[in-house]
Amino acid sequence: MSATEIKELIQTYFDACYESKGEEMAKVFHPAAHIYGLDESGTLIDMSRDIFMTVVGSQNVSFPRQNEILSIDFTGENTAVARVIVRVMNTVYTDILSFLRIDGKWGVISKLFSGVPAQD
């Protein structure tokens, strides 16, 4: 197993977040993917890939670039998990990206996120 494809997808994810290109998320996330987290009041956020693409594409705010791959672990021949840090606007997120390889192609099937205010 090679981490090259996973790293390339993560880089596309980082670029799409920074450049507010929601349509680029279609290259990273499987059509059935879901994005999970909690809002400020502790309520569950559960977004489909399409809603997430719209949210990312609507952020027309300039912010310093901050992203890092913390780890990539292969949990099977067709499964992997990556932990990454990515800044979007004034929040630094730690994301857990779960990957599946379906028909030979890797894609994120779920994303779990947690954010903290950026320290500028």
Range 4-117: architecture per CATH: Roll (3.10)
More confident residue, 61 or 40: 40
pLDDT digits (tens, 9 = 90+) for 16-54: 999 999 999 999 999 999 999 999 899 999 999 999 999
pLDDT digits (tens, 9 = 90+) for 33-42: 999 999 989 9
More confident residue, 120 or 50: 50
Can you list the pairs that 60-69 forms with residues at least 24 positions away whose Cβ atoms lie under 8 Å? Answer: 60/20, 61/20, 61/89, 63/18, 63/87, 63/88, 63/89, 63/90, 63/118, 64/118, 64/120, 65/18, 66/92, 66/118, 67/14, 67/17, 67/18, 69/7, 69/10
Percent of the chain with pLDDT over 70: 99
- pLDDT score recorded for residue 59: 85
For the chain, the domains span 4-117
